[in-house]
C-alpha cells in the first residue's frame, strides 16, 4: 500500500511533546500532608495528576517520594504516547483516504462538466444576444454627490460667573448694599463681555467654515465638469462608432466583430484567436480562427478511487471517441462563429461570412510545428438564418454549407481556405527605396520624415523577405495614424500589423503609444509597432507592457539595420543643433 501519511513525523511530534512534558513532571509533584478531615497525616505522600487529551485519559499518580511519583508518571505517559501515535496515524490515514475520495468525486464532476460544456459549445450561444449593447458602452453614471465632512466648530459657551451672595445686613447698612450691587453689576458686565466675545468667535468660526466649504464646493464643481466632459466624450465616441458601423465603414465593422468575439464566452482553457477582415464589395466578413489542437481537448470521462493505493486514476475515452469529440467541437466552433457574426451584425452590410479554422500541431514525420487550415466554411445570411441550430447534426450542417474538410479533423489534413484576407487599401502609396541610399554617414535623426517612413517600410520588408509578407506605406495626408501596414498570411503568427514611424529628437511620451493602441483597434490589427530615432519613457513602456505592441527605440533600430547590412547612425544632439 502506498504511504498515506507521514507516520515518522506524527511520532516525532508526539515524542517531542512527551519529552517536554516529562521535563516538567518533578516541578509539578505536590505533597499531601492532611487527611480529608483536616488532620495531619502520620506519613505524608506525594501525588501528581497526568492526562492525555488525544486519548481522553486522566490519572492521579501517588507515591511515598517525589522520585517514585515521577517514575510512575513517566511510565504511564510513555504508554499513552505510544497509543496516541497509533491513534493519530490511524486518524490521518482515514483523513487521507477521505480527502482522496472527495478529490476523486470533485474531479469526476469537473471532468463531466468540461465534456458537457464542450459538447454544448454551439448551444451555449443560442440563448445569448450577440449584438453589442451600445448603451452598455456608454457612461451614464451619476456624478458623485458633494460631500464636506468637516462640521462647524463653535466655541464653548463661557461659564457664567455667579453673583456674590447678598450680605444679611444690607437692609441695615446702605453702604454694604451699594457695595454688593456694584459687585453684581461688575459680574453682569463680565458675563456679558465673555458672551459677546464668544459670539464673535462663533461668527468668525462660522465664516471660516463657510469659506472652506465654498472652496471645497468650487473644487467639486471643477471635478464634476471634468467628469461630465469625459463622460460626454466617451458617449460621443460610442455614438460616432455606432454611426460608422451602421453606415458600413469597413474598419468599424471589423472593430465591432472583434468586440463580439472578445465577449464570446467559451469553456475554460479553450484557447482561440481571431483575425477578422471585411470585403466591402461582396459584403463578406472573413474570419481566420486559430483552434486548439486535439491534445488540448480533454479526454477524461471520470476518475475512479483505487482503495489499495489510495489514489485516483483517470478513465479516458477511446481514441475513436476522442477523435469524434474533437471533430464535433471544431465544427461547432465554426458554426458558432458564423452565427455570432450574423446575429451581432444587425445591418445589411454583412451578407456573407467565411470562417477558416487553423490548427498548429506537431508534424509526426519531422517533429516540427505545422500550421494548417483544416476547415473552411462559407455561409450566406439568408441561407444560414433559416437553419435551426438547436436541432441540427453539426456534420450534416457543415456539409449542407459546402464546407471544405479533407477528412477527419483529428488528422489535421489541410484544405485551401475559401477566402483569405484582403490586403488592398486605398491609402497605400508606391514605396520609395530609401534604405539603399543610406550609409554610415547618414544621421537618421536628420533625414526628412517622409524618407524615414519609407526607410522603416524597407527595413520590415527585408525582415519579412521570403515569407509572403506584404509591407505598404500609406499616404501622408490620409494615414489616419498609420505610416505602414504589414500583412502576414501566417494564420497564427500573422494578420495585420500597423507601424508608426516617429523621427523624433526627444523622448517619445505615452500619448504616442496610446495613439498607436487606438489605431490598432480602429484598423482591426493584431499587432502594433512603434519605431523612433529617440527613446521611450517609463510610462510608454509600462503602457505597452501587457499589450501586443513592440517599441523599437533608436539604438534597437540601428541594431536591426546593421543586422541587415546597413550601416547608419543616430545623433540626436547633431539633429537638434541642425534645427
What is d(CA 32, CA 572) in angstroms, rounded to the nearest whole number? 97
At 356 the pLDDT is: 93
Residue 95 confidence (pLDDT) above 80: yes
SS3 543: helix
pLDDT at 450: 81
Among candidate residues 484, 474, 485, 498, the one with its CA nearest the CA of residue 549:
498
Q: How many CB atoms lie within 10 A of CB 324?
A: 16
The domains of the chain are located at 7-116, 123-130+264-411, 137-245, 428-578
Nearest residue to 71 (alpha-carbon basis) of 46, 96, 89: 46
Measured in degrees and rounded to the nearest 5, phi and psi for residue 132 equal: -70, 125
Report the candidate in 275, 326, 260 with the shortest Cα–Cα distance to residue 125: 260
CATH annotation of 428-578: 3.40.1350.10
User: 357: closest CA among 332, 325, 390?
Assistant: 332
Residue 423's pLDDT is 52
* Exposure letters 15-40 (e unless 16+ CB within 10 A, then b): eeebeebeeebeeebeeeeeeeeeee
Q: What per-residue confidence (pLDDT) applies to 477?
A: 41
Count other C-beta atoms under 10 Å from residue 98's C-beta. Answer: 10
| Percent of the chain whose predicted confidence (pLDDT) is above 90 | 43
Residues 326-342: pLDDT tens digits?
A: 999 999 999 999 999 99
Cα–Cα distance, 88 to 108 (Å, whole number):
30
| pLDDT tens string 1-55 | 346 678 888 899 999 999 999 989 889 999 888 878 778 887 888 999 999 998 8
pLDDT value for 474: 67
Q: Averaged over 381-399, what is the pLDDT? A: 94
Supply the pLDDT for residue 480: 47
Residue 231: pLDDT above 70?
A: yes
**pLDDT at 431 > cutoff 60:** no
Give the range among 244-253, 372-381, 452-461 with minimum mean pLDDT. 452-461
CA end-to-end distance (rounded Å), the chain: 83
* Average pLDDT estimate for 482-499: 75
What is the DSSP secondary-structure string of 285-330? Answer: EEEEEEE--GGGS--EEEEEEETTTTEEEEEEPPHHHHHHHHHHHH
Contacts (Cβ under 8 Å, ≥6 apart) of 138: 234, 235, 238
d(CA 433, CA 538): 34
Strand-strand pairing, 369-380 and 311-316: unpaired
CA–CA distance, 215 with 41 (Å, rounded to integer):
88
pTM: 0.57
Number of other CB atoms surrounding residue 356 within 10 Å: 26
Which residues are CB-neighbours of 526 under 8 A, at least 6 positions away?
275, 494, 495, 496, 497, 520, 548
Mean pLDDT of the chain: 86
| φ/ψ (deg, to 5) at 60 | -100, 120
Alpha helices in 120-157 (DSSP H): 123-126, 134-137
What is the SS3 assignment for 383-399? HHHCCCCCCCCHHHHHH
pLDDT tens profile 130-167 = 999 999 999 999 999 999 888 877 777 778 888 888 77
CA torsion angle 564 570 575 576 (round to 10): 140
Calculate mean pLDDT across residues 455-459. 84
- 55-72 confidence digits (pLDDT tens): 899 999 998 898 999 999
Residue of 486, 422, 493, 492 whose CA lies nearest to 459: 486
Name the pairing type of β-strands 549-552 and 527-532: parallel
Q: Please answer whether residues 373 and 397 qualify as being in contact, where contact means their C-beta atoms are separated by less than 8 angstroms.
A: no
Share above pLDDT 70 across residues of the chain, in percent, rounded to a whole number = 93
Closest CA to 519 of 427, 411, 408, 409: 427
What's the pLDDT score for residue 478?
Answer: 38
Please give the angle made by the CA atoms of 322, 325 and 330, to the nearest 5 degrees.
125
Q: In which band, very low, low, confident or very high, does the pLDDT at 470 lie, cut at 50, 70 and 90?
A: confident
Going by C-alpha positions, the residue among 132, 69, 92 that lies closest to residue 344 is 132
Q: Is the dihedral of CA 124, 126, 128, 129 positive or negative?
A: positive
**pLDDT tens for each residue of 521-532:** 777 788 899 999
Work out the burial of residue 443: count CB atoms within 10 Å of its CB; fewer than 13 is exposed, 13-18 middle, 19 or more buried.
middle
Are the C-beta atoms of residues 353 and 287 closer than 8 Å to each other? yes
pLDDT at 475: 58
For the ranges 99-103, 151-155, 187-191, which has the lowest average pLDDT? 151-155
Q: pLDDT tens digit string along 236-294? A: 999 999 999 999 999 999 999 999 999 999 998 899 999 999 988 889 999 999 999 99
Residue 468 confidence class, pLDDT cut points 50, 70, 90: low
The pLDDT score that the predictor gives to residue 360 is 86
Amino acid at each position: 500500500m502506498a504511504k498515506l501519511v507521514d507516520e515518522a513525523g506524527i511520532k516525532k511530534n508526539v515524542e517531542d511533546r512527551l519529552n517536554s512534558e516529562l521535563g516538567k513532571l518533578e516541578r509539578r509533584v505536590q505533597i499531601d500532608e492532611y487527611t480529608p478531615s483536616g488532620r495531619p497525616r502520620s506519613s505524608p505522600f506525594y501525588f501528581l495528576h497526568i492526562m492525555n487529551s488525544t486519548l481522553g485519559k486522566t490519572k492521579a499518580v501517588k507515591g511515598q517520594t517525589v522520585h517514585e511519583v515521577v517514575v510512575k508518571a513517566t511510565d504511564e505517559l510513555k504508554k499513552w504516547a505510544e497509543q496516541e501515535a497509533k491513534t493519530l496515524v490511524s486518524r490521518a490515514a482515514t483523513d487521507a483516504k477521505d480527502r482522496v475520495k472527495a478529490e476523486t468525486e470533485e474531479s469526476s464532476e469537473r471532468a463531466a462538466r468540461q465534456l458537457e460544456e464542450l459538447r454544448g459549445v454551439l448551444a451555449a450561444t443560442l440563448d445569448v444576444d450577440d449584438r453589442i449593447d451600445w448603451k452598455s458602452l456608454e457612461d451614464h453614471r451619476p456624478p458623485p454627490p458633494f460631500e464636506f465632512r468637516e462640521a462647524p466648530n463653535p466655541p464653548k459657551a463661557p461659564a457664567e460667573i455667579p453673583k456674590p451672595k447678598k450680605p444679611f445686613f444690607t437692609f441695615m447698612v446702605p453702604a454694604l448694599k451699594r457695595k454688593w450691587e456694584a459687585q453684581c453689576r461688575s459680574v453682569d458686565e463680565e458675563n456679558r463681555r465673555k458672551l459677546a466675545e464668544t459670539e464673535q468667535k462663533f461668527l468668525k468660526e462660522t465664516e471660516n467654515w463657510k469659506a472652506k466649504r465654498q472652496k471645497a464646493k468650487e473644487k467639486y464643481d471643477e471635478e464634476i465638469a471634468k467628469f461630465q466632459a469625459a463622460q460626454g466624450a466617451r458617449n460621443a465616441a460610442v455614438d460616432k462608432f455606432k454611426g460608422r458601423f451602421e453606415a458600413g465603414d469597413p474598419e468599424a465593422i471589423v472593430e465591432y466583430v472583434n468586440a463580439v468575439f472578445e465577449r464570446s464566452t467559451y469553456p475554460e482553457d479553450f484557447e482561440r484567436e481571431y483575425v477578422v477582415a471585411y470585403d466591402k464589395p461582396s459584403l463578406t466578413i472573413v474570419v481566420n480562427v486559430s483552434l486548439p489542437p486535439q491534445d488540448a481537448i480533454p479526454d477524461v470521462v471520470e476518475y475512479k478511487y483505487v482503495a489499495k493505493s489510495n489514489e485516483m486514476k483517470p478513465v479516458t475515452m477511446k481514441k475513436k471517441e476522442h477523435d469524434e469529440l474533437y471533430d464535433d467541437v471544431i465544427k461547432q466552433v465554426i458554426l458558432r462563429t458564423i452565427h455570432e457574426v450574423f446575429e451581432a451584425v444587425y445591418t445589411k452590410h454583412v451578407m456573407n461570412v467565411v470562417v477558416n479554422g487553423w490548427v498548429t500541431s506537431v508534424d509526426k514525420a519531422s517533429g516540427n510545428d505545422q500550421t494548417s487550415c483544416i476547415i473552411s466554411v462559407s455561409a450566406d445570411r439568408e441561407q444560414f438564418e433559416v437553419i435551426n441550430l438547436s436541432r441540427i447534426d453539426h456534420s450534416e450542417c457543415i456539409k449542407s454549407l459546402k464546407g471544405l474538410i479533407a477528412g477527419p479533423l483529428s488528422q489535421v489534413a489541410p484544405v485551401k481556405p475559401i477566402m483569405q484576407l484582403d490586403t488592398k487599401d486605398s491609402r497605400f502609396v508606391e514605396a520609395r527605396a530609401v534604405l539603399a541610399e543610406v550609409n554610415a554617414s547618414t544621421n537618421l535623426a536628420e533625414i526628412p520624415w517622409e524618407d524615414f517612413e519609407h526607410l522603416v517600410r524597407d527595413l520590415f520588408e527585408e525582415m519579412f523577405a521570403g515569407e509572403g509578407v506584404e509591407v505598404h506605406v500609406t499616404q501622408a495626408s490620409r494615414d489616419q495614424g498609420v505610416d505602414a501596414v504589414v500583412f502576414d498570411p501566417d494564420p497564427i503568427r500573422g494578420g495585420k500589423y500597423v507601424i508608426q514611424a516617429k523621427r523624433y529628437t526627444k523622448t517619445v511620451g505615452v500619448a504616442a503609444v496610446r495613439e498607436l493602441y487606438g489605431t490598432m483597434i480602429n484598423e482591426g490589427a493584431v499587432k502594433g509597432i512603434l519605431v523612433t530615432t529617440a527613446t521611450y519613457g517609463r510610462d510608454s513602456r509600462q503602457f505597452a507592457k501587457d499589450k501586443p505592441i513592440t517599441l523599437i527605440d533608436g539604438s534597437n533600430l540601428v541594431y536591426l539595420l546593421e543586422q541587415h547590412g546597413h550601416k547608419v547612425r543616430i545623433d540626436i544632439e547633431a539633429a537638434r543643433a541642425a534645427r
